[in-house]
Amino acid sequence: MSKKVILITGASSGMGKESAKTLIEQGHTVYTVARRIEQMQDLSTLGGFPIQMDITKENDIQNVVDTIIKKEGKIDVLWNNAGYGLFGSVEDTPIEEARQQFEVNVFGLATLTQKVVPYMRKANAGTIINTSSMGGKMYTPMGAWYHATKHAVEGFSDCLRLELKEFNINVVVLEPGIIVTEFGDVLLENINKFSSKGAYASLTKKLVIATKKMYDSGQGSKTLVISKTIAKIVKARKPKTRYRVGLLAKPMVWMRINLGDRLFDKIVMSQV
């Protein structure tokens, strides 16, 4: 198997970190970036190359790309994995918070992609993996801004795939289901912050209880399912355009596509 130069964003925890460990073990040259560099020191010990980067700062992004190109001369795989979930009612969530959600989940991803593509194009090779979610194909109450960003990543990736086809660059969308990571903690923190009082207090309470119950009972797939999938994509000469993996990802998206809006609404609300 040929060894590749890989750049992973959002690698300080969860899916990004576990997959980085797997790829390092397989002998790839793995650069990991996140705001919390102190949480990537173990990756450095294993043989990875952590760099501090804020996905919303263009200077940080430029510095990372320049550093890798100077040292390695190429980037074979870019995994745009950084992101978080902003949850709360549309009415209660401040627009500046919504804007920040787009800055991280969409515009940060797009900026890094713009800076990496020219090198892949010159090499006439490369793979870009964009982390969406089963939430990029469906929806839940109180998740308007999060789902909006993931729907955007889906559309962005499809257009990018067509544009880069002639340059032999693969564009892959990763659509995880429920994975056991810090995601649930951030989700609960945001809901409680914005919508725990007022008109949506009752719905918020139900959603918090349902989410806590799911995470506390250990439901959700282990990050191993993601690291195995990423390793498979990295190895593939012609990877699939989408990988839907993890708890509920396939059935929920199937229901969304096949059952129609009103029935799907009922199914979603029956879980809250």
Q: Helix/strand/coil (H, E, C) string of 90-146? A: CCCCCHHHHHHHHHHHHHHHHHHHHHHHHHHHHHCCEEEEEECCHHHCCCCCCCHHH
Q: Are 219 and 248 in contact (CB under 8 A)?
A: no
- What is the pLDDT, as a whole number, of residue 1? 62
In one-letter notation, the amino acid at residue 265 is D
pLDDT tens string 127-145: 999 999 999 999 999 999 9
Residue 240 tokens read as: 């699939």
Nearest to 243 by CA among 79, 3, 32: 79
pLDDT at 219: 72
What are the phi and psi torsion angles at 26 (to 5°)? -80, 0
Model pLDDT, residue 181: 66
For residue 195, what pLDDT is reported? 75
Residues designated catalytic: 12, 132, 146, 150
Give me the residues of the chain with pLDDT under 50, please.
Answer: none
pLDDT of residue 187: 67
Question: What are the tens digits of pLDDT across the range 24-56?
Answer: 999 999 999 999 999 999 999 999 999 999 999
Q: Which structural domains are found in the chain, ordered by start?
A: 5-270 (3.40.50.720)
pTM for the complete prediction? 0.95
